[in-house]
Structure 1
Amino acid sequence: MGIMEDENIRQACMIIALQELRDSLEDNPDSTTIPPIRQPRRELGESGAQYIHRLLTETPTECQIQLRLDRHMFVQLVNLMIERDLLHDAKYVKVAEQVGICLYILAKGVSYRDASDKFKHSISTICKYFNQVLEALVILSFDIIRPHRDLSEVPPEVANNTKYRPYFKDAIGALDGTLIDAIVSDTNGVPFRDRHGRKSWNVLACCSFDRIYTFINVGWEGSVHDTTVWKDSLGDPKFNFPHPPPGKFYLADSAYPNTLGYMTPFFGGVRIHMPDFRILPPRGLKEHFNKLHSSLKMKMECSFGQLKKMWRILHNMPQVSQKIQMSIIIATCTLHNFIRMHKLGIPIIQHDASIGVADSTMYAQWRKKSMAKVRHRIARRIWRANRSESDNVGDDNDYQDDSEDDENEDHMEVDG
């Protein structure tokens, strides 16, 4: 009975709709003969091309505020895209506007619809050029995200600083991981849940002391431990990881093993990070070392902080495929390096991609023992330079205990 009533109601609604349509045609007999005129999507307001032109010609700082690149950087990036044959002018959207669309979305973290309102193009057009510029930036990353100086040389940030030069002249940079928001379905999101309960990507990066990324590994879920990403980066030749030369090392935090080529702080009953020393000064050999180690490694933290602050899309990832999300992370790191290189006067040189060398002995005991000796040696030098009459007996015991541990490690290495 209920089914029949629903059918009767549906037929009655259809009859009413047809009657209203017939009445409207009778009132406007010519409406069927006049073809509909397609109106432009928007008629008023500044077009995207006019917006980019205004940023480049009027207020000097407006381009940097809106797109994060000043006028000279923006023009250099556009010319680089054209010279490398990565982007081409379209009929209605030139390369400069294409790049502007992508930078606007990355900088502001806005949706395609918001960018559509700003640049006066359809959402599909905005999406098309955003993805094309992303792809171009990923290609550029092979020439931009890499070491730009000889790793066997002492970095000028260390060589010209008496605070670090006596102890960390063999440090070539810092290595660390960071979490960046990920958008995945709840069904597939369990592996992406990090220690804070949020869905994220675990990104590993190496950074020189001038805050230029020399390596990134993107694609691991947030629940994965940092050492897993690190081991994957070193062990797979396709990543072309910039391994430290013999006698050189990266600074890393306590999440990584203290092994040859990677120096971590002391942990276990001692303070590790710079904020820990704000109230009370360091005490003992290990804490003096940790403070200086953390102070130099802060270059890495500053790079991550600057990256996330400048490109707001990393805090507001759009609902796009995982591949595009990874491209967004690579693109923002590429732009970060592009800005730093422009400021430091480092040219962007095109080089042939090469296959790196795998390192599968990072957990070997002989490497850990060798690096422990190097770390203790540096810690003793820092300790001697910072010792004063105010240090108490407990600190002296700390020094003696570490010396004994160092001697024991020397014997272990000989016995091995």
Structure 2
Amino acid sequence: MKIEHVEMDKSLVENCMMYIAAHELRRLLTRMDQIPLHTGGEPGCQWIHRLLTGHPNLCKEQLRLEKHIFINLVSILLERKLISDGRYVLVAEQVGICLFMLAKANSYRDAAKRFQHSISTIGNYNRKVLESLVALSKDLVRPYQSLNEIPTKIANGAKYFPFFKDCVGALDGTHIDAIVGDKVGQPFRGRKGIKTWNVLASCSFDMLFTYVCVGFEGSAHDTTVLRHCLGSLEMGFHHPPPGKYYLVDSGYPNTIGYLSPYQGRGLRVHTPEFKNSPAPRGKLEHYNYRHSSLRGTVERIFGVLKNRWKVLRMMPKMDDAYQLAIIVATCTLHNFIRLHDLGIPISQVVENMEPRVDFNLIEKTRTKAMEVVRAKIAEEI
């Protein structure tokens, strides 16, 4: 079969090429309409509005804050210029995004669907709100009563007064899920073999965090974490005044400033050991019973924190700084809620303690001196 070669008009070819080039240039210069991925649902701003105008319990169920507390949180973040409205997302919705993820351990994809935004938008505002809450923690996580005063719970409780009149609070550590790679994960594995962060905190008997230290791996001993906090001005630890002390558990030394329970074979130490059991026997167990009952405040505050914010039990696969920001942010939110419950103004001022360091936590003279204090309390009880 013979194929004839037809010579195409040169001008026609040039015209076609010019048309194609012009069409492509017009396509590149013309803004293409973006097709939203999430459609058909209730926009995030409308959902937040519904939470704030609907049933009184709705906001608390979804975001863990009552309506008036949520509104106050947004106002404070704006007043302190810790966060600002976005072009399309106002601060109320930004805070809602963050709380939605903290409360129920929702993923970016879940939040994107709920608020009808892209995953990148959700991630951007979630981090901004976390950063603002971490900044707010410097003003919220602190003592709200002078450490020289007797706490109300002790002063008004015959079970504790006058025995623990010099106590300023309770101190303990807790473990929170850590998501780290296996190559660097060994130091994060504690006694249970699970990768965790070892978080140290002190609290008042009003169930307020007065100090929080994050960043230590799960395998770190509680005393190691405490000594680090005491040995640096930058850590900002609130040292007990002379003659005062924190209640600590048996994992810490009994030394000046820190009062621990008695230990020994057959000696009950913790509150659960006294429940549904015979009454305490002897002065040491009577001391341990009241000590553990009062110190239990710090265990309860950790329990409330983890139950309210599910993310602490299901930490997302993010970088270390993000995980630590979550821990500090949730402690800040806990105090914010609790202050409203107690009617304590955030601006309430207490006397400033002079910053200092403490390098000799387990010095023999200190442990012997605190043993005298403990023995005296046990004798009085």
State TM-score, norm by structure 1: 0.82
| Structure 1 position 275 matched with structure 2 position 305 | no
Give the letter for the 1:310 counterpart.
R
In the aligned structure 2, how far is the partner of 1:96 from the partner of 1:355? Answer: 38
In the aligned structure 1, how far is the partner of 2:353 from the partner of 2:263? Answer: 38
| Structure 1 position 164 matched with structure 2 position 160 | yes
Q: What is the aligned partner in structure 2 of residue 236 from structure 1?
A: 232
* Correspondences of 1:292-371 after superposition (within 5 Å): 292-349=290-347, 356-371=355-370
Q: Would you say the 8 A contact 2:174–2:199 is kept in 1?
A: yes
Unaligned residue ranges in structure 1 (runs of 5+) = 1-31, 383-416
In the aligned structure 1, how far is the partner of 2:294 from the partner of 2:118? Answer: 48
Q: What is the aligned partner in structure 2 of residue 186 from structure 1?
A: 182
Q: What is the aligned partner in structure 1 of residue 12 from structure 2?
A: none
Give the letter for the 2:274 counterpart.
F
Give the letter for the 1:273 counterpart.
H
* Correspondences of 1:15-414 after superposition (within 5 Å): 37-269=33-265, 270-278=267-275, 279-349=277-347, 356-382=355-381
CA 121–354 in structure 1, closer or farther in 2 if over 3 Å, else same: farther
Q: CA deviation at 1:354?
A: 9.9
Structure 1 SS opposite 2:200: strand
Aligned residues: 352
Structure 2 SS opposite 1:166: coil
Q: Would you say the 8 A contact 2:177–2:196 is kept in 1?
A: yes
Q: Would you say the 8 A contact 1:175–1:205 is kept in 2?
A: yes
Structure 2 SS opposite 1:216: strand
Q: Would you say the 8 A contact 2:240–2:257 is kept in 1?
A: yes
In the aligned structure 2, how far is the partner of 1:348 from the partner of 1:207? Answer: 16
Q: Would you say the 8 A contact 1:115–1:126 is kept in 2?
A: yes
Q: Would you say the 8 A contact 1:220–1:229 is kept in 2?
A: yes
Determine what percentage of the aligned residue pairs are the same residue: 53
Give the letter for the 1:160 counterpart.
N
In the aligned structure 2, how far is the partner of 1:321 from the partner of 1:113? Answer: 18
Structure 1 SS opposite 2:109: helix
Q: CA deviation at 1:284?
A: 1.2
CA 118–271 in structure 1, closer or farther in 2 if over 3 Å, else same: same
Q: Would you say the 8 A contact 1:238–1:356 is kept in 2?
A: no
Q: CA deviation at 1:43?
A: 2.5
Structure 1 SS opposite 2:86: coil
Q: Would you say the 8 A contact 1:67–1:103 is kept in 2?
A: yes
Q: Deviations over 1:270-325 (max 9, x none)?
A: 11001111222211111110010000011111000000000000001001110111
In the aligned structure 2, how far is the partner of 1:102 from the partner of 1:155? Answer: 34
Q: Would you say the 8 A contact 2:238–2:353 is kept in 1?
A: no
Q: Deviations over 1:103-147 (max 9, x none)?
A: 110001111110111111000000000000000000000000011
Q: Would you say the 8 A contact 1:254–1:264 is kept in 2?
A: yes
Q: Would you say the 8 A contact 1:176–1:206 is kept in 2?
A: yes
Unaligned residue ranges in structure 2 (runs of 5+) = 1-23
- RMSD (CA atoms): 1.9
Q: CA deviation at 1:162?
A: 1.1
Q: CA deviation at 1:161?
A: 1.0
Q: Would you say the 8 A contact 1:176–1:205 is kept in 2?
A: yes
Q: What is the aligned partner in structure 2 of residue 392 from structure 1?
A: none
In the aligned structure 1, how far is the partner of 2:353 from the partner of 2:330? Answer: 23
In the aligned structure 2, how far is the partner of 1:292 from the partner of 1:162? Answer: 11
